Amino acid sequence: MDLAKLTPKQLLEIDACTRCGECLRTCPVFSQKTEEGINPRGKIQAMKKFIRGQYGLWARIFGKKSLSQSELEKFSEMVYRCTLCGECSMQCPVSIDSRSLWIAIKETLVDLGHYPKNLGMMKKNVLSKYNISGDHNNLRTSWLEGLENLPAHRYQKEHATVVYFVGCVSGYFPMAYKVPQSVVRILERSGIDFTLLGGEEWCCGFPLIGAGFKKDIEDLIRHNVEGVKQKGAESVIFSCPSCYHTWHEEYHTDLNLFHSTQFILDLIQKRKIRFREEKVRVTYHDPCDLGRQSGIFEAPREILRSMPGVEFVELASHEKESKCCGGGGLLEMVDPELSISLAREKIKEIQATGAEIVVSACQQCTRTIQSTARRMKVHLKTAYITELVLKHME
């Protein structure tokens, strides 16, 4: 096993795990599948065992222990059954950055050829078609067809000061079309000079990172940054928290990056967006990549609080402690049943608030919660935050 994908800090973290089990209390996957090997502690201990067998004292004296393919296969099954929600690191007394660790371990497993094969298909789609669905990349803007009175430029101008980066899920999953539809309408009505990249928008690279293929994202980064620069834009807005987080962490650009909630809150504060009063009780689900990973907790809450008539109630788990909806970390592709069982728990939590609408700031969370509610035959209204903003605008 080549340990090149693990940083010295991560090797120390693996060694530092005290097996205290604090992370077990919060891992949403472990709450559904109580196998030791699937929880954060179990995964770290398995990795430690592999490393000792290959590089420990025993290996130095008697030679490297050969890796058991069945053990590696089982280990891979456990590592990929994770939403990358990052909740495990919140409770860890030795501050293990476990989300980054899981990604580095996946990269190691990819090198060994032990990863879910459908993720290999997703990689092929992203690298050949530039989106996760494998459809033609010009179909990214199919959601525009649902809008009336489109301007002649169809929001794809040659130059603009702001680029709205839509993301693959909103571009290709009809259930999420309302996300970009509401964002462009808000920007238009607020007088923002913006454009889409259309067929020139490529996947941000997040699905590849989450699957352990990080080394393949360089072309995507270069192409997307060049696309924005060619528009003469200074800022990029994202409705997808994972796109936002990936640009923030991996793109190393001088462009101003905003999640839609930050940009819209600024428009509200500048009084470019005004609301009429409409009474409704809502709750808010923190997306993992927006909240825990990017530290954006207040912007969506301030938007909701600024809307007259909106009664905002917190979920039992919120902000840093928010429970993942089950839609993260590609879990839906690896183990859809497990993803659904996490979403069921989230729905119970939402129902306990008595809210009429659950709002989120992630198209994937909204889609996961909505589709699971339908399966459960539960009446639950979900909305991406800009849908609510647009509906309540004067």
Residues at the contact surface with ligand SF4, assessed by CB under 6 A: 17-23, 26-29, 40-41, 44, 82-88, 91-92, 94, 96, 98-99
- CA 68 – CA 157 distance, rounded (Å): 56
Closest to ligand SF4 by CB, 82 or 350: 82
Cβ 249 to ligand SF4 shortest distance, Å: 16
Cβ 113 to ligand SF4 shortest distance, Å: 22
The three-state secondary structure class of 243 is helix
Cβ 340 to ligand SF4 shortest distance, Å: 15
Cβ 22 to ligand SF4 shortest distance, Å: 4
- DSSP string over 341-386: HHHHHHHHHHHTTT-SEEEES-HHHHHHHHHHHHHTT---EEEEHH
Cβ 102 to ligand SF4 shortest distance, Å: 6
Q: Which of 185, 197, 199, 192 is nearest to 156 (CA)?
A: 197
Closest to ligand SF4 by CB, 82 or 273: 82
Cβ 67 to ligand SF4 shortest distance, Å: 23
Cβ 295 to ligand SF4 shortest distance, Å: 17
Query: In the sheet where 235-238 sits, what is the strand order?
Result: 194-195, 162-165, 235-238, 256-259
- CA 260 – CA 384 distance, rounded (Å): 11
Closest to ligand SF4 by CB, 180 or 287: 287
Closest to ligand SF4 by CB, 31 or 235: 31
Q: Which of 115, 186, 165 is nearest to 334 (CA)?
A: 115
- Residue listed under structure tokens 């991560």: 10
Is residue 383 within 8 A of residue 263, CB to CB? The reply is no
Name the phi and psi angles at 238, rounded to 5: -125, 135
Closest to ligand SF4 by CB, 44 or 265: 44
Closest to ligand SF4 by CB, 23 or 192: 23
- CA 72 – CA 113 distance, rounded (Å): 10
Closest to ligand SF4 by CB, 20 or 121: 20
Cβ 48 to ligand SF4 shortest distance, Å: 10
- DSSP string over 78-122: HHHS-----HHHHH-TT---HHHHHHHHHHHHHHTT-S-HHHHHH
Count of other CB atoms within 10 angstroms of residue 265: 21
Cβ 344 to ligand SF4 shortest distance, Å: 15
Cβ 96 to ligand SF4 shortest distance, Å: 5
Per-residue DSSP letter, 393: B
- Residue listed under structure tokens 């929001």: 155
Closest to ligand SF4 by CB, 119 or 390: 119
- CA 10 – CA 67 distance, rounded (Å): 21
Closest to ligand SF4 by CB, 6 or 299: 6
Closest to ligand SF4 by CB, 102 or 155: 102
CA distances from 157 to 152, 183, 247 (A): 10, 16, 22
Cross-strand bridge partners of residue 259: 238
Three-state helix/strand/coil letters over 251-312: HCCCCEEEEHHHHHHHHHHCCCCCECCCCEEEEEECCCCCCCCCCCCHHHHHHHHCCCCEEE
